[in-house]
Amino acid sequence: MPSVFNWPVRVYYEDTDAGGIVFYANYLKFFERARTEWLRALGVQQQELLDTDQTAFVVKSVSLDYHAAARLDDELTIATRVEKLGRASVQFLQEAWRGDVLLNTASVKVGCVDVKTMRPRSLPDDVAAKMRAA
């Protein structure tokens, strides 16, 4: 699935450590927000999935590689691409860029679960179709 979703983010003071560098765990927040905005762009509302289908997405695994530091006030682009779409999961490749400098790479596997049981469930058909079309 070659299509890439790009989402801009600016680094705020709250994102940094005492040295003015983005705190390592905050990349996870940037990546989470980008996946959420990708879903919105597809017309998928997570609150609606919770309310009508009792369906949620949960992170199953994540692997991060840090390449360079982001700093206070940097303008970043978070690139999100689906690497694999399974029956009940989605494997993402996400990257944080400052211009043409790669800062961070993440492999994130997200599972679809029934919120009542927290057990895996198939992606809703309409959601899977929108993801495949993207």
Q: Which residues are catalytic?
A: 17
Residue with tokens 């679809």: 112
Euclidean distance between CA atoms 26 and 84, whole angstroms: 25
Phi/psi at 8 (5° precision): -80, 145
Q: Which amino acid is at 95?
A: E
* DSSP 3-state of 95: strand
CA distances for 117 relative to 60, 64, 114, angstroms: 16, 29, 6
